Amino acid sequence: MFESMNDFATDGQDAPSLRIRIVFGEDAMLGPGKADLLELIRETGSIAAAGRSMSMSYKRAWMLVDELNKAFRDPLVESSRGGVRGGGARLTKAGEVVLAQYRKLEEIMAEAGAARIGVLRSLLRDGVAEK
């Protein structure tokens, strides 16, 4: 029926998206926003720049990083303050592993759910998927 999420977009419409939120308990959650933030920190080397890329305040971005660092056994992001050489941030080895595992889980879920998402999409009213 459907091989992947991309097979849904054969009629010129955008493909449906599947968003995964993993709730580990009351105090620990990993979802698409935090995963995107980690990815942008890796790309930009900065919590502030990553937050700006997501239209998020530095305070909010820092708070999310702090939540992640406190939730996992090892910190996911290391940061250094500004100064003569400037500050920055980078993903730790644990951060790289967490991000890679989350992205792989997204891929697996999209592949596993592709046919059912296709059925759901086929049941939508005309024009709904175009909005």
pLDDT band of residue 15 (cuts 50, 70, 90) is confident
Per the domain annotation, does 41 fall within a domain? yes
Per the domain annotation, does 101 fall within a domain? yes
Separation of alpha carbons 22 and 43, rounded Å:
23
Nearest CA among 93, 90, 64 for reference residue 77: 90
Using CA of residue 50, residue 55, residue 57, residue 62, what is the dihedral sign? negative
What pLDDT, on the 0 to 100 scale, is given for residue 32?
96
What pLDDT, on the 0 to 100 scale, is given for residue 85?
60
Per the domain annotation, does 110 fall within a domain? yes
pLDDT band of residue 13 (cuts 50, 70, 90) is low
Nearest CA among 28, 15, 11, 32 for reference residue 111: 15
Identify the CATH number of the domain in which residue 116 sits: 1.10.10.10
Give φ, ψ of 93 to 5 degrees. -60, -40
Nearest CA among 105, 123, 124 for reference residue 19: 105
Extract the tokens encoding 122. 């086929």
Q: Which domain covers residue 126, as residue numbers?
A: 29-130
Per the domain annotation, does 73 fall within a domain? yes
Per the domain annotation, does 108 fall within a domain? yes
Per the domain annotation, does 3 fall within a domain? no
Distance from the Cα of residue 49 to its chain's centroid: 16
Per the domain annotation, does 21 fall within a domain? no
Per the domain annotation, does 117 fall within a domain? yes
What pLDDT, on the 0 to 100 scale, is given for residue 84?
55
How many domains is the chain partitioned into structurally? 1
Question: Taking all residues of the chain, what is their mean pLDDT, rounded to a whole number?
Answer: 86
What pTM was estimated for this model as a whole?
0.80
Of how many residues is the chain composed?
Answer: 131
